[in-house]
Amino acid sequence: MSYLNKDQQVWDEILQLIKEQGIAYLTHLDERPTSSKKEVALLSDLDENGLGAIATLKQFNERFEPVIVASSGPRYWGFVTGGTTPAAIAGDWLAAIYDQNTQSAKGNGDVSALIELETIQLLLSLFNLPKDFFGGFVTGATLSNFTCLAVARQWIGKQSGKDFAKDGISGSIKVLTATPHSSAVKSLGMLGMGSANIIPVNVLTGNREAIDLEDLKLKIAALNGEPFILISSAGTVNTVDFDDFEAIDQLKAKYNFWWHIDAAFGGFAACSPTYKHLVKGWENADSITVDCHKWLNVPYESAVFFVKEQHQLLQMETFQNANAAYLGNPLANFSYLNFLPENSRRLKALPAWFTLTSYGKMGYQELIEKNVETALLFADFITTNPNFELLAPVRLNTVCFTLIDENLVSDFLDRLNSTGKVFMTPTFYNGKKGIRAAFVNWRTTADDIVIATEEMEKIVKDLVK
């Protein structure tokens, strides 16, 4: 009997072992190191007959599990990495068990597609966005930006009577932006629009990363009425700066452009009455990117795109499956197959549906505001310790700082991360080497700030002797 058949007879034992291991990990997550320097020898040959699930779990636990770091834990403050709520984990486990290929709202996969459509509505409600956005789930901000900008590319072509999705790109497409995330720049390259076609817009003076509107107006005027794409930011990476969406909306009334907002994590400001002013006016954009595996705290890989429903035909032209003719009118016979890049998709919406339904608007308001409070608490430590300085004001959930002696930054960060108590990432801002700490995990508390800052004080004292 093959191991596949044997494993089928011991489902309960396999899942019980995984359950116990999962509970142990989650229970002791705050004790697990945030980094590891242990090396793992990799195998190159596959066993002829396999080991079976239980023996394979044993090998995994011997070779890999001890090296897995607490990136989903409360003191992993690098890369804007979120955690996973209990409800999101439940949804993710069920998504794996049911193993749906989420496509059609009619016929095969109809329930999973309906769950996704409902989850998009719940997210629009969470963000207080109007219902005239259409959306879906993709793997992350890169593919969300890709999806939105692909539809923007098709819109640009239509302005001059061209079908770029069918006939290819001819001529250059102008893209205006000030501080685009690397995923947006990467998407421009993958879409054949070329990062070299970006027309950089100045940022505001006074320690800002937001668009200088006067310079934007000059850049627009220089295009002499040519349609273009504007990529704006709801939360830049280093300092969580926001563009002035109300002012951009006024420009959109005068000029012909596609307005895309990268709101990968900054869009969650909309969940809080205290911070929702930061995204005022974003509801008038043509498309928006939001990462769910950041501040929504669902497992990787999860992001959504929102594209105004008025652009659905453009979106369908961009992504229509080559074999979609038998479906009839893709708008009448809806399938996600014709509205986003992937043909094969797991039920990514289910973890998001579980966590949104479980904790509601107030739960996410509390999560966002608690993270901002811990960010401000950490910033207080930076400003009161004579060895550190803030590189920018704390606008939301990310603290960008450096050491007074900039030459010590790399050594300091290496030593700090090697403690395994906390993890942060390096950056470069306003001509200075810096460090970023991003707070997006539902588990993070003031106690974690104490643990991290105590380590920081020890290290910096040793370095400045």
CA distances from 29 to 68, 86, 163, 453 (A): 11, 13, 51, 19
Closest CA to 437 of 40, 2, 30, 81: 81
Last residue of a domain, one of 355, 376, 405: 355
Residues 375/398, Cβ–Cβ less than 8 Å: yes
Structure tokens that stand for 337 in this block: 């197959």
Shared-domain flag, residues 132 and 190: yes
DSSP at 196 = G
CATH code of residue 178: 3.40.640.10
Shared-domain flag, residues 108 and 225: yes
**What per-residue string of b and e applies to 310-332 under the rule 16 or more CB within 10 Å gives b?**
ebbebbbbbbbbeebeebeebee
DSSP at 417 = H
Residue 150 lies in a domain: yes
pLDDT of residue 419: 96
Domains in the chain, number: 2
Beta-bridge partners for 262: 233, 289
Residue 362 lies in a domain: no
Shared-domain flag, residues 206 and 283: yes
Shared-domain flag, residues 222 and 289: yes
Residue 125 lies in a domain: yes
Shared-domain flag, residues 61 and 184: no
pLDDT digit string (tens) for the chain, length 465 residues: 688 889 899 999 999 999 999 999 999 999 999 999 888 999 888 888 889 999 999 999 999 999 999 999 999 998 888 999 999 999 999 999 998 888 876 656 568 999 999 999 999 999 999 999 999 999 999 999 999 999 999 999 999 898 888 777 877 789 999 999 999 988 988 888 888 889 999 999 988 999 999 999 999 999 999 999 999 999 999 999 999 999 999 999 999 999 999 999 999 999 999 999 999 999 999 999 999 999 999 999 999 999 999 999 999 999 987 665 555 666 677 888 889 998 888 999 999 999 999 999 999 999 999 999 999 999 999 999 999 999 999 999 999 999 999 999 999 999 999 999 999 999 999 899 999 999 999 999 999 999 999 999 999 999 987
Residue 348 lies in a domain: yes
pLDDT of residue 343: 85
Alpha-carbon torsion (312, 317, 318, 323), positive or negative: positive
Q: Which residue has the tokens 């700030």?
A: 449
pLDDT of residue 109: 58
Last residue of a domain, one of 355, 375, 408: 355
Counting beta carbons within 10 angstroms of the beta carbon of residue 86, is it exposed (0 to 12), middle (13 to 18) or buried (19 or more)? Answer: middle
Give the structural domain span for 47.
3-70
Shared-domain flag, residues 204 and 277: yes
Residue 103 lies in a domain: yes
Residue 444 lies in a domain: no
User: Under DSSP, is residue 157 helix (H, G, I), strand (E, B) or coil?
Assistant: helix
Show the beta-strand stretches assigned E in 234-355. 257-262, 287-291, 303-308
Closest CA to 390 of 400, 378, 380: 400
Shared-domain flag, residues 221 and 113: yes
pLDDT of residue 440: 97
pLDDT of residue 80: 86
Shared-domain flag, residues 149 and 291: yes
